[in-house]
Copies of this chain bind each other. A is one copy, B any other.
Amino acid sequence: MPSVGSVADTHSVKDREMPDTPQFAGPIAPPARLLMGPGPISAYPSVLAAMSAPLVGQYDPFMTAAMGETQELYRSVWATTNEATLLVDGTSRAGIEAAMISLIRPGDRVLVPVFGRFGHLLAEIAERAMAEVHTIEVPWGQVFPASVIEQAILRVKPALLGLVQGDTSTTMLQPLDEIGALCAKHGVLFYSDATASLAGNPFEADAWGLDAATAGLQKCLGGPSGSSPITLSERAVEVIRSRSRVEAGIREEGDAEASDFVRSNYFDLGMILDYWGPRRLNHHTEATSMLYAARECARIVAMEGRDAVIARHRLAGDAMLAGVRGLGFEAFGDVGHKMSNVVAVEIPEGVPGDEARGAMLSDFGIEIGTSFGPLHGRVWRIGTMGYNARKDAVLTTLVALEAVLRRYGVAVAPSGGVEAAADVYAASSAEA
């Protein structure tokens, strides 16, 4: 037995012996990847760096200040003065569910215009929130004229309209600018899921009359999945407040208790607002590292300038569209209404789609996307988002794609894609 004090503490972290560990349990060491699919995409390096910043306590003055800064930064991203601008701790669909379940009372009529998979998701979430759900649909690859949505509002008389802005399943971007006025006119709450589109396409929460909008970091904001920015109008906050219920265990005398309280604790935006607001009432423990990431994503937008970031996405999207056409691809859907940040291309006859995508990944480290539902096996989806909305990423993807297509016997004009895309960039520089 060694004498006291002369021997290292065998229980200390610093001194512990590391036994041989199996191969699988090495430190995480991802392969190099250029993520050019419909998201998630490669994060900005400064976002990755922000996540390795040390943690602080939940009510540390630094933490509450960082939460406040993050709110202010996202007001700028959403183009809103909404006080209720914050994060939901979960992936983008956590934000969708929080918005819908907090705004929809069981039995409420909800209208969801569906133009792709994520419209189905909104309808599904509304159903699970026990709404009476009404959908209208257009074929995949199209968007809705405002007049069609108004007709449906008149027929259904919904309490809430749930409308995806950009549906990555089809790449379409639903115009929202006239919808808020229609909703206000007919007394309908207006919610939009801007996960795939925010920061890569215009979004004007206040000017367009949004009552609620949610997003994720893993698309044009250039961060990892796992935090969902959300903004709520005063009218939305009133609805949420009318259903307020403070959790037993921290409830105080005088705290309201509504009978139609939200049927989720985690997604009850009333409680989440009390946590982010001046009352700082404990709810979840804010996901500190994801907050750092979300803050950095919005800080990048603020530094580069919101309009400049949107313009960079438009340019990259225009270049990629010209590039894939230069490779002989047909772009899917109503291209005049596609999001700037993703294009769907018809897989050429005779090319095994998944095998060719596999070659892109294994030979070039480049990921492009497959697709869902009616488009599965028919199109690839190629994204240009966030950090990857840049010239070298676009051009590299196009030269690799050219080589892979040729390998599968497609007759491709040598450099036909890359030069068409380079021309778009050159023309843009010339204009500048």
- Kindly report which residue of chain B lies nearest to residue A72, judged by CB atoms: B24
Chain B residues whose C-beta falls within 8 Å of the C-beta of A94 in the assembled complex: 89-90, 94, 266, 284
For the A-B complex with A2-B429, A4-B430, A249-B372 known, give 18 more contacts whose Cβ atoms are closer than 8 Å: A5-B426, A7-B432, A11-B308, A11-B316, A14-B390, A24-B69, A25-B299, A25-B303, A31-B60, A33-B54, A48-B53, A48-B55, A93-B265, A97-B264, A124-B249, A124-B265, A225-B286, A225-B287
Are A247 and B40 touching (Cβ within 8 A)?
A: no
Are A303 and B39 touching (Cβ within 8 A)?
A: no
Are A128 and B372 touching (Cβ within 8 A)?
A: no
Which residue of B39, B57, B315, B316 contacts A367 across the interface (Cβ within 8 Å)? B57
- The answer to the question of A78 belonging to the interface, with a C-beta cut-off of 8 Å to chain B, is no
Q: What are 29 A-B contacts with C-beta separation under 8 Å?
A: A9-B425, A9-B428, A10-B432, A11-B428, A12-B392, A13-B44, A18-B304, A21-B299, A25-B69, A27-B46, A30-B53, A32-B54, A33-B54, A33-B60, A40-B285, A48-B53, A48-B54, A48-B289, A51-B51, A89-B90, A90-B266, A101-B264, A120-B248, A124-B247, A128-B261, A218-B285, A226-B290, A264-B264, A264-B267
- The answer to the question of A58 belonging to the interface, with a C-beta cut-off of 8 Å to chain B, is yes
Tell me the count of chain A residues lying within 8 A, CB to CB, of chain B. 131
Are B121 and A429 touching (Cβ within 8 A)?
A: no
Which residue of B31, B43, B116, B282 contacts A372 across the interface (Cβ within 8 Å)? B282
- The answer to the question of A165 belonging to the interface, with a C-beta cut-off of 8 Å to chain B, is no
Chain B residues whose C-beta falls within 8 Å of the C-beta of A162 in the assembled complex: none
Chain B residues whose C-beta falls within 8 Å of the C-beta of A283 in the assembled complex: 93
A44 to chain B, nearest CB (A): 8
Give residues of chain A (237-292) contacting chain B, Cβ–Cβ below 8 Å.
Answer: 247-250, 261-268, 282-290, 292
Interface string of A301-325 (1 = CB under 8 A from B): 0111100100110011000000000
Are A55 and B40 touching (Cβ within 8 A)?
A: yes
Interface string of A416-432 (1 = CB under 8 A from B): 00000000011111111
Cα–Cα distance between A186 and B415 once the two chains are bound (Å)? 72
Are A117 and B249 touching (Cβ within 8 A)?
A: yes
Are B265 and A387 touching (Cβ within 8 A)?
A: no
Interface string of A61-76 (1 = CB under 8 A from B): 0100110010011000
Which label, helix, strand, loop or mixed, suits the secondary structure of the A interface? loop
- Kindly report which residue of chain B lies nearest to residue A39, judged by CB atoms: B285
- The answer to the question of A296 belonging to the interface, with a C-beta cut-off of 8 Å to chain B, is yes
- The answer to the question of A50 belonging to the interface, with a C-beta cut-off of 8 Å to chain B, is yes
Cα–Cα distance between A84 and B9 once the two chains are bound (Å)? 37
A335 to chain B, nearest CB (A): 21
Cα–Cα distance between A315 and B9 once the two chains are bound (Å)? 11
Given A225-B285, A429-B5, answer yes or no on A12-B390 (Cβ-Cβ < 8 Å). Answer: yes
Which residue of B224, B264, B429, B431 contacts A55 across the interface (Cβ within 8 Å)? B224
Cα–Cα distance between A373 and B248 once the two chains are bound (Å)? 10
Are B28 and A53 touching (Cβ within 8 A)?
A: yes
A96 to chain B, nearest CB (A): 8
Are B387 and A248 touching (Cβ within 8 A)?
A: no
Are B7 and A226 touching (Cβ within 8 A)?
A: no
Interface string of A82-97 (1 = CB under 8 A from B): 0000000111111001
Copies of this chain, count = 2
Which residue of B48, B55, B123, B292 contacts A35 across the interface (Cβ within 8 Å)? B55
Chain B residues whose C-beta falls within 8 Å of the C-beta of A91 in the assembled complex: 89, 284-287
- Kindly report which residue of chain B lies nearest to residue A302, judged by CB atoms: B25
Given A250-B117, A296-B28, answer yes or no on A303-B19 (Cβ-Cβ < 8 Å). Answer: yes
- The answer to the question of A79 belonging to the interface, with a C-beta cut-off of 8 Å to chain B, is no
A181 to chain B, nearest CB (A): 29
Chain B residues whose C-beta falls within 8 Å of the C-beta of A304 in the assembled complex: 13, 16, 18
Which residue of B10, B56, B93, B218 contacts A30 across the interface (Cβ within 8 Å)? B56
Chain B residues whose C-beta falls within 8 Å of the C-beta of A121 in the assembled complex: 247-249, 265
Cα–Cα distance between A89 and B97 once the two chains are bound (Å)? 13
Chain B residues whose C-beta falls within 8 Å of the C-beta of A226 in the assembled complex: 89, 226, 287-290
Are B21 and A303 touching (Cβ within 8 A)?
A: yes
